[in-house]
A and B are shown apart, each in its own frame.
Chain A
């Protein structure tokens, strides 16, 4: 799936670090609902939220260690920031959501094509999951590479509508 050509982004903060996702994949941004923790899930899965009758997987990027190269757990900057918003995304036929704070619309002006962080407050996100850095309100904002990120989170690749078989995963087995 590609969002080339759409320059609008959704910016948000995770643990004080600024990140952005293409607006094209964001269905809605809501207040954080009740999220129930599910045993046996990946550590970066915060849980699921019932959203319109659907079990929406909720991801907490703070817990995705590969996104935070060199992070020192003792660093006072890693003090948790309250993620009071839920960013709901559509990825093919799959819906998923991220926890975040200070959500805002951002325009992608194409800064830092070489991958270097612009001047200003640095962004602690890095690694293969950052496409490039933007400069937004005096701080560096990581534009996330959603193909790589979602793949590493275990989210299946986006498929054209209709390919997924119906009837699978029927919890009632009726």
Chain B
């Protein structure tokens, strides 16, 4: 599956590239603004998922925002950098045991080895 590799603080994540509608850079996109737990982009409101807070990371100085299309709705996630798009065989992604999560809503689908370390695969449906 084709994945977009992103960084959130020290954390390394990936998201299915097909789910990324747009990568928004607020420095060059005047029609983007944040309002508490929402983001407004071109007049439309989106749920803003704070992955920095969820992962215990401090937000970077110049985040970019991923506009994600989930099964039910769209959402926006802030990341510190979008690195690359790569093809990762589905069989290389190990599912995470559900019992490690504190709540039923799980924003991580699985984990895979990427270079010299593991990388987590985000669940766009749980984020949106």
In the complex, which range does the number of interface residues on chain A fall in? 20 to 34
A171 to B98, CA, bound (A): 12
25 inter-chain pairs at a CB distance below 8 angstroms, sorted by A residue, are: A36-B111, A36-B117, A36-B120, A38-B108, A38-B111, A40-B54, A40-B102, A40-B105, A40-B108, A42-B101, A43-B102, A48-B96, A50-B118, A54-B94, A55-B94, A57-B99, A154-B100, A155-B99, A156-B99, A169-B96, A171-B90, A171-B96, A172-B91, A172-B110, A174-B1
Residue pair B93, A172 in contact (C-beta under 8 Å) = yes
- Is A53 engaged at the interface, CB distance under 8 Å to the other chain? yes
User: Residues of A contacting B107 with CB < 8 Å?
Assistant: 39-40
A132-172: contact bitstring with B at CB < 8 Å (1 yes, 0 no)? 00000000000000000000001110000000000001111
How many of B's residues come within 8 Å of A, CB to CB? Answer: 34
Give the A-binding residues of B (Cβ under 8 A).
1, 11-12, 51, 54-56, 90-91, 93-103, 105-113, 117-121
Q: Is A63 an interface residue (CB 8 A)?
A: no
> How close is A108's CB to chain B, nearest CB, in angstroms?
28
A61 at the interface (CB under 8 A from B): no
Q: How far is the CA of A171 from the CA of B104 in the complex (A)?
A: 16
Is the CB of A110 closer than 8 A to any CB of chain B?
A: no
Contact A48 B118 (CB under 8 A): yes
A34 lies within 8 A of B118 (CB): yes
- Bound complex: CA of A37 vs CA of B97, how far in Å? 14
Q: Of all chain A residues, which has the CB nearest B92?
A: A53
Residue contact A37 to B11, C-beta cutoff 8 Å: yes
A67 at the interface (CB under 8 A from B): no
15 further A-B pairs in the complex, CB-CB below 8 A; given A38-B96, A38-B120, A171-B94: A36-B11, A36-B118, A36-B120, A37-B56, A38-B111, A39-B51, A39-B55, A40-B106, A40-B107, A50-B118, A57-B100, A156-B99, A169-B97, A171-B96, A171-B121
- The residues of A that contact B96 with a CB separation of less than 8 Å are 38, 48, 55, 57, 169, 171
Within 8 A of B (CB), among A4-39: 34, 36-39
A residues near B97, Cβ cutoff 8 Å: 55, 57, 94, 96, 169
Complex-state Cα separation, A39 to B95, whole angstroms: 15
Q: How far is the CA of A169 from the CA of B95 in the complex (A)?
A: 6
When the two chains form the complex, which single residue of A37, A38, A49, A55 contacts B95, counting CB atoms closer than 8 Å? Answer: A55
